[in-house]
């Protein structure tokens, strides 16, 4: 499995580039619009790669940012979300905007992405619970602990997520207290 490629960008299109390695081999790599905006033709660069091998194709998806790659990999694991739809999400939303939309249950932001309808957006919010988002941002495990505590008190996850969006505490106990004030 290919994890990263380093080489020179010989051709760049809005959603695809060709990366020529020092060995002389060139690879076609699918990229997001944000990634394409940061790449320069003729420049040496390293792309983080997600490789998808299908019966009829061996596809490479490249990313400059580890968070964007993680977002893409989370999305393609969902039922009904293919690589092209996941790439559309990466092209339309930053990783921060994506996390915020999922955590707050903001289906409207997700439906602004081409190919994502209301039903798919609701399914994405439901399937990408906070446990998966904590993998995405491991430095904030206190949020997962606070959410679990609030759920054990009988609050619904959707309501908790909406209350937690504006919370600023950085410890589990303080976050629970702050969220309880908003939920009351």
Question: Could you read off the pLDDT tens digit of each residue along the chain, which spans 184 residues?
Answer: 899 999 999 999 999 999 999 999 999 999 999 999 999 999 999 999 999 999 999 999 999 999 899 899 989 998 889 999 999 999 999 988 888 888 778 899 999 999 999 999 988 888 886 545 544 454 567 777 888 788 888 888 778 878 887 788 888 889 899 989 988 8
Q: What is the pLDDT of residue 134?
A: 46
Residue 178 to residue 38: CA distance in whole angstroms: 39
Please count the residues of the chain: 184
Which are the contacts of 25, defined by CB distance < 8 A and separation ≥ 6? none
Are 145 and 179 within one domain?
Answer: yes
Are 60 and 71 within one domain?
Answer: no
Q: What is the pTM assigned to this prediction?
A: 0.72
Are 50 and 79 within one domain?
Answer: no
Identify which of 42, 53, 37, 70 has the alpha carbon closest to the alpha carbon of residue 1: 53
Give me the CATH number covering residue 13. 2.40.50.140
Are 9 and 51 within one domain?
Answer: yes
94, 109, 129 — which closes off a domain?
129
Q: What is the pLDDT of residue 152?
A: 86
Are 96 and 109 within one domain?
Answer: yes
Q: Which domain holds residue 56?
A: 4-64
Neighbours of 94 (CB within 10 A): 14
Q: What is the pLDDT of residue 17?
A: 96
Are 52 and 80 within one domain?
Answer: no
Contact of 113 with 93, CB cutoff 8 Å: yes
- What's the domain count of the chain? 3
């Amino acid at each position: 499995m290919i994890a990263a490629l380093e080489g020179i960008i010989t051709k760049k299109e809005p959603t695809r580039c060709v990366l020529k390695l020092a060995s002389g081999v060139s690879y076609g790599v699918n990229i997001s619009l944000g990634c394409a905006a940061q790449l320069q033709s003729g420049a040496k660069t390293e792309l983080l790669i997600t490789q998808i091998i299908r019966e009829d194709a061996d596809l490479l998806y490249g990313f400059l940012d580890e968070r964007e790659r993680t977002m893409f990999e989370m999305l393609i694991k969902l039922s009904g979300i293919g690589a092209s739809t996941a790439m559309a999400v990466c092209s339309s939303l930053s990783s921060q905007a994506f996390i915020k939309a999922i955590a707050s249950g903001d289906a409207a932001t997700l439906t602004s992405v081409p190919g994502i309808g209301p039903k798919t957006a609701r399914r994405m919010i439901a399937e990408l619970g906070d446990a998966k988002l904590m993998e995405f941002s491991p430095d904030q495990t206190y949020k997962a602990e606070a959410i679990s505590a609030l759920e054990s008190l009988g609050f619904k996850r959707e309501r908790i997520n909406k209350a937690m969006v504006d919370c600023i505490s950085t410890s589990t106990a303080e976050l629970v207290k702050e969220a309880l004030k908003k939920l009351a």
